[in-house]
Amino acid sequence: MRKSWWKIACVVLLVYTVIGGLLFRVPAREILGETIRNLYFHVAMWTVMFTLFTVSVVYGLKYLRTQNLRDDIYAVNFAKTGIVFGVLGYSTGFMWASYTWTEYATNTQIFKEPKLLGTAIALLIYFAYMVLRGSIPDLDKRAKISAVYSIFAYAMLFPTLYILPRMMESLHPGSQGNPALNPNDSDPRMQMVMLPAFVGWTLLGVWIATLKVRLDLIKEKSILNA
């Protein structure tokens, strides 16, 4: 029970998020309307993605120092799970845009939106990370090259998702630097759900990643004990 408290907290927070996200009152915002509830899900996906990618690159750096394949297993599985949540974040954002931005922007403008393009590029870089791993049969060489590449992939998250979109005109809410989430876009009623949502979804991402790690550790047990 002492080791599972965070899993119980994850379930409780996500149940609260779903119920609160669908039923609690939200402020009436022009254009957004009830779709503002997507903040509890769409933005949270980015929180999870960044957390998992951060853990992945930390384990990649650790592998370069220790040459322990166990660290490589942690790195790749946290990266895989981060990609899944990144795709979910992109999908929920694109769907949200298709219901709101079309009132004052064309489909072409939405497709060229800097934040969406930057996200697509960042995800493609991580997809290339997985392709690279699959193309190298030697375990040690694969782990070493993957660890180096993961540093590059992680570093590219910031220009593609934060720096470049802030330098270009964007459809995302907020001005003067185009913040991804302007504090003025939410109020205390939303924060009651938003903060638990961020924590709950992040715990879920970590939970999924650790389950994948455990499966791979079992599969590679003979190699790790060699």
Residue-by-residue pLDDT tens, the chain, 226 positions:
557 889 999 999 999 999 988 888 877 766 667 777 888 888 899 999 999 999 999 999 999 999 898 999 999 999 999 999 999 998 888 888 777 766 655 666 666 677 888 888 999 999 999 999 989 888 889 999 999 999 999 999 888 887 777 776 666 654 444 444 555 555 677 788 888 999 999 999 999 999 999 998 888 776 666 5
Examine residue 6 and state whether it is found in any structural domain, yes or no.
Answer: no
Q: How many domains is the chain built from?
A: 1
Examine residue 7 and state whether it is found in any structural domain, yes or no.
Answer: no
Q: In Å, how far are 69, 102, 166 from 226, measured between CA atoms?
A: 11, 58, 50
What tokens appear for 146 in the block? 């993957």
Examine residue 226 and state whether it is found in any structural domain, yes or no.
Answer: no
Domain boundaries, position 43: 13-221
Examine residue 8 and state whether it is found in any structural domain, yes or no.
Answer: no
pLDDT value at residue 110: 63
Residue reference for tokens 């949540």: 85
Examine residue 76 and state whether it is found in any structural domain, yes or no.
Answer: yes
Examine residue 149 and state whether it is found in any structural domain, yes or no.
Answer: yes
| Alpha helices by DSSP H, the chain | 5-23, 39-66, 69-100, 107-111, 114-134, 139-158, 164-166, 188-219, 221-224
Examine residue 100 and state whether it is found in any structural domain, yes or no.
Answer: yes
Examine residue 197 and state whether it is found in any structural domain, yes or no.
Answer: yes
CB 118 within 8 A of CB 109: no
